[in-house]
Structure formats: structure tokens, C-alpha cells
Amino acid sequence: MPISSRSGVIFLFITILICVLVLFPILQYVVERDPQLSAYDEDWNDISNFRIALEDQSETSYNVSAILSNPAVLDEIKDPSSTLLIIAGTESPYSNLELEILVRYMENGGSILVFGDFDYSNTIAGLFAIEYVEHTLWDQNYRGNVSLIETTAYIRDSANGDKSYSLLLNEPVAIKDLQSAQVNFWSSGFEVRRQTIMSTSGSSWIDSDDDGAITPEDEAAPASGFALGMRFDMGPRTESLGSAVFISDSSLPINEMWNENQNSLFLKDLVKSMIGSDGVVLFDESRHTQDSFGASLFQAALGFYFLLSGDTLILQVIRLNVLVAVIILTMALSLRQPEPRRWYHIFDIMRPRPFRSYGHNLDNGILALQEVFLERIRLKYQIYEFDDKSRKERLTILPNLLRNYNIPLDDDFKMLLGAPTQIRPNDLRSIAKKLSTW
């Protein structure tokens, strides 16, 4: 039976209503997750201390900002030679087009600093014929917990020789040469010089079979150890341009690890060795999953829009249509929520993002606080029994561990763990504030 234009409009309207009122809330609930490794959040697993240290150092003068849409904006940088792009724990792979933009930025003198492990950082590492080996790394040089590995890093100083730093890493991986792919992004005559700046001890292993134990099937390290950090200095044979540094632990710059050993001193000196004491530092926030499906969708739409670069008329028309669609979608999302989210850091990236609540309702807030508290206990008291266990499993064995480790808890924390149904919104806020200083 033929469908009239009026019926088609009705079907379209019903489809939009179903997507907005049914499908979108379901996807938001399923996809929602807490953001991490953001330079503009202040949770334990974010890197705001790193950003603040770069902004507030008295002996340096950095213009610190962020990429929120897509690495394509690197083409707009006027002076790449004094610019550093910091990429921490990328949660989505870089496309070939984005890699070409990144290579062009580095060939023009730009520098990058990549913190990666079990993520998509290999899409960038492949440009330098290396890869992050995504298996657990064991080392005899650990502190209390086998996931906390101690090592020494070096920064080359032409005047005073190499300077060493004692670091504490959290679940790093090994970096190895990439043998299975041909790297062909670089221009002919472009030279890349490599240096290992950090490695494990000679008594370390890669858990190749992922069985959680050291077995004959695992790969043992050579006498020099496995590489944990590599530096590549780039440029034609006649001059030196930018640098690329790969560190195999995305946890190294997080707030929880910032004051461990000489982690903070190493990171500040590393940035200074790459771009000097004056320049631009960009944090790539576009590769981090946002805290809601709507935020992620908005960010993806912005990235797609900025990828449409060019001067042809058809691209101008496409860009206009995409912009109109993004505006309409944003208005629809704003109408759906009684209190719309403020895209605060998009318009004023120099200021911190506003405080985020723990979830969209009381139950989610309680679960989130339990997760944070249990992880704080694991890190503070080095409880290896919590490794690789879920929240429910940790709660089950927690009473015995509190007695064995003689860990005192006040009444609020006892209520959070033992009687969460008694918690009210005001209690949740006070517990969250107390937990942030515990």
C-alpha cells in the first residue's frame, strides 16, 4: 500500500519520539561511565595536578590548554616547535587521517608525550615502529604490591649529563619493537633518533599467557630489562626539531601517583626538556569518554565537524548541515534534562571544570562512593587481596581484612559499607567530602 507524504511525516515524528524518549535514556544508562585521566577533573585517577603544576611553575611560562574536538586543530598551530601535545590513556584509536595530521605536526617541529598501556596508544606508537605489549608485566623491583613497580628514569642534559629520577609506576606494560608492520608516514630524508629513558630490572617477565603467574611460557627480560619509556628526537639530518616520548604507564601522571617518589619532578623536567621553559602545552581531551552518552555524542559530533576541512563549496555545505544538526541535537538534549549540563570547559578551557556529583541518583552515588572508598583502602594499605576483584567481592572479604590489617573506620564509613540503605543525600555529600581528604 502506498504511503502518503502525511503518513511519512507522522512515521518520522514517531521515530524521533521513540529515539528521544526511549532509546536515548537506555543508551545513556548503558554507556554512562566515570571520566578519567582528564586534565580538568580532580578525582584520584585524573591528571589535574600535572596541569596545575605546568601552569603555576615560577621558573617556566607555559600556555596550557586542551584539544576537545579532534587532533585536526593541530594544523592551525602557528609555531609547532614550541608546542607539546600530551596524550594520556587514549580510549579510541586514531584514524589514518588523524595520524597524517599528527605526523605533519611533528615534521614541522611539534612534540608529543604519550602515556599508554592497555588502551589505543599503539595507533600512535606504530609511527615509530614500537608497540605497547598489552600483557601484565612482573618485576622483582616492586613496593608492597606487585602492581607498583619502582624504576629509574633518565633525562639527557647536554651540560651536566643524564639526570636520574626514582619513579613509582602502577601496572606498566613493556614497550617493544614492532616487527609486523611497515611504517611509511614519514617524509624521505626525515631522521628519527631513539633513546630508552626507562626500563625494568633484568629480573622481570611478561605474562604472555595471561594466567596471573610466572610460568615457563612467559617472556623473560634480557639483562637490560624491558623498555618502559622511549624518547625519539626528530628532524632532518642537518637540524633537530621536536621530540616524541612514550611512557608505558598511563597512571604515572594521575593525582594519586603525583607525589610518589620523584614522579612529579620527573614529569615537570621532562616537559621542560622537550619544549624548554616557554611554550604551549595541549592536553588531548578528545580521546576520553565523557561521563554521559549525551556528552560523548556531542563531542563526537564536534570532532566530525572539524574533520570536514577544505575550501570547496560542497564541504562548506556539508559543514553547515552538520553544524545545524549539532545545534538541533544539543537543543533536544537540553530540553530533555531539567538542569542542562554546562559545557563549561569547552568555552573556558583555562579554568577547572565544575564539581561533578557521584551519579544521577542516590543509589548510583552510594555505589560510586563504595568503589572509590574500597580503592582508597587498597592503595593506602597496599591490600593485594583486593586485586582483580569486583566491588561485591571486596565488600564480602572486607570485614576480615579490617581486622587483619587493624584498619580503623569512623561511623560514616561503616554506614557506607554496612548499612547503605540508611544513607540520605546530605549524608552522601558529607561522606564524599570526608572521603576526599581521607
Question: What was the pLDDT predicted at 150?
Answer: 96
Q: What angle do CA 213, 219, 221 make, to 5 degrees?
A: 110
Mean pLDDT of the chain: 79
Nearest to 362 by CA among 284, 290, 421, 285: 421
Query: For 268-272, which contacts have Cβ atoms below 8 Å and span 24 or more sequence positions?
Result: 268/53, 268/54, 268/57, 269/155, 269/163, 269/165, 270/113, 270/155, 270/245, 271/54, 271/62, 271/84, 271/113, 272/60
pLDDT tens digits, residue range 253-270? 999 999 999 999 999 999
Identify the pLDDT of residue 367.
Answer: 82
* The pLDDT of residue 51 is above 90: yes
- For 413, the 3-state DSSP assignment is helix
Instruction: Give the per-residue pLDDT at 252.
Output: 96
Beta bridge partners of 278: 61
At 278, the pLDDT band (50, 70, 90 cuts) reads: very high
* Gap between the Cα atoms of 258 and 251, Å rounded: 9
User: What's the pLDDT band for 431 if we cut at 50, 70, 90?
Assistant: confident
Residue 12 pLDDT class (50, 70, 90 cuts): low
pLDDT at position 75 is: 86
* Structural domains of the chain in order of their starting residue, each with its CATH number: 48-287 (3.40.50), 362-436 (no CATH)
Q: Residue 234 and residue 39: Cα distance in Å, rounded?
A: 27
Give residue 52's pLDDT. Answer: 95
Quick check: 121 and 90 in contact, CB under 8 A?
A: yes
Task: Specify the pLDDT at position 73.
Answer: 82
Paired residues of 168 in beta bridges: 150
What tens digit of pLDDT does each residue of 71-117 get?
878 888 888 999 999 999 888 888 888 898 998 999 889 999 999 99
- Given pLDDT bands bounded at 50, 70 and 90, which one contains residue 335? low
> For residue 419, is pLDDT > 50?
yes
Residue 50's closest CA among 42, 83, 58? 42
- The answer to whether residue 356 scores a pLDDT higher than 50 is no
Mean pLDDT (whole number) for 32-48: 80
pLDDT beyond 50 at 279: yes
Pairwise pLDDT comparison (425 vs 94), residue with the higher score: 94
Model pTM above 0.75: no
pLDDT, tens digit, 9 for 90 and up, residues 156-207: 876 667 899 999 999 999 999 987 655 667 777 778 889 999 999 999 999 9
**pLDDT number for residue 22:** 63
Lowest mean pLDDT among 61-70, 279-288, 335-344: 335-344
- Residue 135 clears pLDDT 90, i.e. is over it: yes
CA distances (Å), origin 80, targets 102, 105, 243, 252, 281: 11, 7, 11, 25, 11
pLDDT band at 317 (very low <50, low <70, confident <90, very high): low
What DSSP assignment string belongs to 242-294?
Answer: -EEEEES-TTTTSGGGTTSTTHHHHHHHHHHHHHTTEEEEEEEGGGS--SSHH
